């Protein structure tokens, strides 16, 4: 303890540093010393502080320089060279590196695969509204007080009764043999009894385990779950498909195909309502002009893409019979046309708004709210666009060949991405997002709920008018983090489960960088992709910095 007394110089309180640490009160009487000695001691002290500060930092900062800062500089340099393992790391060839300027980036933009992989990455991110909603739902359930006092015995009894009843039902139903029914009933019973006895912790643990263990092991597990035809998922889905097939066969094709029409109507309705909501946000002064325009543009994305997926063929000719039937092209025309009309309608309505009021506020106000809302509606429209052709083709699929069969999941061009998203959803319900929501839910002031109760709000109203707005900052954070993570994600899944296939359907930008950098060896090009990715992440981060706090204050 006596080693370091020199630091306790009496003049410390007046050292130039005292200004920087106001938390240090003057502990000793102020000895009047001559000014020179004081500044000398201050300088000595300053040097000492710096030495200590850097001394403690040294191991970390050396590593930081060696494995973060220097690589960063090299990566920056690499992106503008033609560095290729085959040309430059090959002892036989040792060609000099050539500075190629923006060539890598130009090549990247001209590369159709890049756009496909970017599309894949964005496609995977469309699972976010579902997984965030799942996390929120789980968090709300977990935030309830489950230890119902005297009710507990009753709860256990009811749980037991339900258990017995469900067992009997499952046995009667006979999903795939009694063993399976017993298994599910047994598991349900174990969870139920554990949950009743242990409360929310038990459930929370079970929810969080898929996220916690996520990695190569669980990806391999899901790869086996997704085995075509014989895998457990295929085995579970096949009976459902068979019964659907029966229904489709029994009903006239036109009835089934009307599902396509309904999907298209719903899609247009979603766009109509979504734009209407945005317009009202704008008229009520919650969103600025830029926010509305960006959100509306986001909402238009599915419509812009529908022509590419559906094509514009209005009639398909059956080669066998020569009969003509309506084709998906009607969907493209309908969505494009109705959206144009909807746009015109909303623009006309918006023009009648109180302009003096509307134009006074900042254009970027509430852009986070707008984009999050538009993104959610956009995903719903995408779902409609995706479901439409399923209804359209269902009669054909059900009556030709073997009837409805489960897809090859990971090996199917159309199903590879949705399959991985199903797996992602499984892991994402009980993720960090759920924990963050759980923490945020406990911070919602109880008075707000009481006030809502006095106003006679239903559960549903309580959620939308109290819980949801109070959780807005958390939601914003979760979304931003999800987008940042999503842009960089997908490498492990692609490498372990699909090798990026089939036909590049599951190759994300991260896997693309890996392939270029470590398999093909085009280091310069790969670095250029990595920096492009960084740019996207950076834009999202900037967005977060600029609008995150504003959103919180709303």
Partner 1 sequence: MSNIDPGPRLEQATQPSSVLPYGSELTSATVAETRRGKFVRSLTSTGMLHLLLTGMSLLMVLPFTWMVLTSLKPAGEVNDPDWFPSSFQWRNYLDVGDKDNPDPQRRGVDFGRFYWNSLFVAAWVTFLQVTTSAMAAFSFSRLQWPGRDKIFLMYLSTMMLPGLVMMIPNFQIMINLGWVNTFTGLIIPGAFSAFGTFLLRQFMLTIPSSIDEAAEIDGASKFRLFWDIILPLARPGLITLTIFTFMGNYNSFFWPLVMLRSEHKYTLPIGLMFFDSTRGQSTHLLMAAVTMSVIPMIILFVFLQKYLVRGIQLGAVKG
Burial status of residue 111 (CB atoms within 10 A of its CB: 0-12, 13-18, 19 or more): middle
Q: Helix, strand or coil for residue 480?
A: helix
Of the pair 113, 201, the CB lying nearest partner 1 is at 201
> Closer CB to partner 1, residue 74 or residue 265?
74
Pick between residue 158 and residue 347 the one whose CB is nearest to partner 1.
Answer: 158
Long-range contacts of 511-519 (CB under 8 A, 24+ apart): 511/117, 512/113, 512/114, 512/117
Residue 449 interacting with partner 1 (CB under 8 A): no
Q: Note the Cα 320 to chain centre separation in Å.
A: 46
Q: Which of residues 515-554 bind partner 1 (CB under 8 A)?
A: 517-518, 523, 526-527, 530-531, 533-534, 537-538, 541
Alpha helices in 284-366 (DSSP H): 289-310, 329-351, 355-359
CA 292, CA 277: separation in Å to the nearest integer?
10
The nearest distance, CB 311 to partner 1, in angstroms, is 34
Residues between 455 and 474 with contacts to partner 1, criterion CB under 8 A:
456, 458-460
d(Cα 515, Cα 497) in Å, to the nearest integer?
15
| Residues from 410 through 429 that contact partner 1 (CB under 8 A) | 426, 429
CB of residue 458 vs partner 1: minimum separation in angstroms? 6
Q: What is the DSSP string of 151-179?
A: HHHHHHHHHHHHHHHHHHHHHHHTSSHHH
Range 370-399, binding partner 1 (CB under 8 A)? none
Residues 210-229 that bind partner 1 (CB under 8 A): 210, 212-218, 220-225
Tell me how far, at minimum, the Cβ of 126 lies from partner 1, in Å: 20
Nearest to 17 by CA among 56, 58, 57, 50: 50
Interacting positions 479-518 with partner 1 (CB under 8 A): 481, 485, 487-488, 491-492, 495-496, 510, 513-514, 517-518
| Residue with the two structure tokens 């409609």 | 384
DSSP per-residue codes, 19-78:
GG-TTS---S------HHHHHHHHHHHHHHHHHHHHHHHHHHHHHHIIIIIHHHHHHHHH
**Near partner 1 by CB under 8 A: residue from 177, 246, 252, 337:** 177
Please, what is the minimum distance in Å from the beta carbon of residue 527 to partner 1? 6
Residues 144-173 that bind partner 1 (CB under 8 A): 144, 146, 148, 151, 154-155, 158-159, 161-162, 165-166, 169-170, 173
**Cα distance between residue 74 and residue 84, in whole Å:** 14
- Asked whether position 74 contacts partner 1 by CB under 8 A, the answer is yes
Using alpha carbons, select from 377, 373, 381 the residue that is nearest to residue 476: 373
Q: Tell me, by CB under 8 A, how many residues bind partner 1.
A: 131
The CB-of-546 to partner 1 minimum distance in angstroms stands at 15
Which of the residues 305 through 364 are near partner 1 (CB under 8 A)?
none
User: Shortest distance, CB of residue 150 to partner 1, whole angstroms?
Assistant: 9
């Amino acid at each position: 303890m006596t080693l370091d007394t020199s630091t306790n110089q009496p003049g410390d309180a007046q050292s130039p540093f005292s200004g920087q640490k106001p938390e240090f009160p003057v502990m000793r009487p102020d000895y009047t010393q001559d000014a020179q000695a004081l500044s000398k001691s201050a300088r000595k002290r300053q040097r000492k502080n710096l030495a200590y500060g850097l001394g403690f930092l040294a191991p970390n900062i050396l590593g930081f320089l060696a494995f973060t800062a220097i690589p960063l500089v090299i990566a920056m340099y690499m992106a503008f060279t033609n560095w290729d393992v085959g040309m430059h790391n090959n002892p036989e060839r040792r060609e000099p590196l050539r500075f190629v300027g923006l060539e890598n980036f130009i090549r990247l933009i001209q590369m159709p695969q890049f756009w496909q992989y970017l599309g894949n990455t964005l496609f995977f991110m469309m699972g976010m509204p579902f997984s965030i909603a799942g996390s929120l739902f789980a968090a709300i359930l977990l935030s309830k007080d489950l230890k119902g006092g005297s009710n507990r015995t009753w709860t256990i009894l009811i749980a037991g009764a339900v258990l017995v009843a469900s067992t009997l039902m499952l046995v009667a139903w006979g999903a795939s043999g009694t063993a399976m029914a017993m298994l599910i009933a047994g598991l349900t019973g174990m969870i139920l009894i554990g949950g009743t006895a242990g409360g929310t912790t038990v459930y929370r643990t079970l929810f969080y385990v898929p996220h916690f263990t996520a990695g190569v092991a669980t990806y391999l597990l899901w790869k086996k779950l997704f085995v075509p035809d014989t895998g457990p998922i295929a085995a579970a889905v096949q009976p459902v498909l068979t019964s659907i097939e029966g229904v489709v066969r029994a009903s006239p094709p036109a009835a089934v195909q009307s599902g396509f029409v309904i999907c298209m109507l719903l899609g247009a309705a979603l766009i109509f309502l979504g734009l209407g909501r945005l317009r009202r946000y704008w008229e009520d002064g919650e969103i600025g002009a830029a926010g509305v325009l960006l959100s509306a543009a986001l909402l238009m994305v599915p419509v812009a893409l529908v022509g590419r997926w559906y094509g514009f063929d209005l009639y398909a000719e059956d080669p066998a019979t020569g009969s003509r039937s309506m084709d998906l092209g009607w969907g493209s025309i309908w969505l494009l046309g109705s959206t144009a009309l909807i746009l015109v309608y909303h623009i006309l309505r918006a023009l009648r708004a109180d302009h003096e009021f509307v134009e006074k506020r900042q254009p970027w106000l509430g852009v986070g709210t707008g984009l999050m809302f538009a993104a959610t509606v956009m995903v719903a429209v995408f779902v409609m666009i995706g479901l439409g052709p399923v209804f359209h083709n269902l009669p054909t699929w059900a009556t030709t060949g073997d009837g409805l069969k489960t897809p090859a999941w990971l090996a199917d061009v159309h199903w590879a991405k949705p399959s991985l998203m199903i797996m992602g959803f499984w892991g994402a319900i009980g993720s960090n997002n759920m924990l963050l929501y759980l923490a945020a839910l406990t911070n919602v002031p109880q008075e707000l709920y009481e006030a809502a109760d006095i106003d006679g709000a239903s559960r549903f109203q309580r959620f939308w008018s109290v819980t949801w707005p109070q959780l807005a900052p958390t939601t914003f954070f979760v979304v931003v983090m999800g987008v940042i993570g999503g842009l960089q994600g997908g490498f492990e899944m692609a490498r372990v489960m699909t090798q990026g296939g089939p036909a590049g359907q599951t190759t994300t930008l991260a896997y693309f960088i890996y392939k270029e950098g470590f398999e093909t060896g085009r280091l310069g090009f790969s670095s250029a992709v990595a920096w492009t990715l960084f740019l996207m992440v950076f834009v999202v981060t900037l967005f977060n910095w600029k609008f995150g706090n504003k959103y919180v204050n709303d």
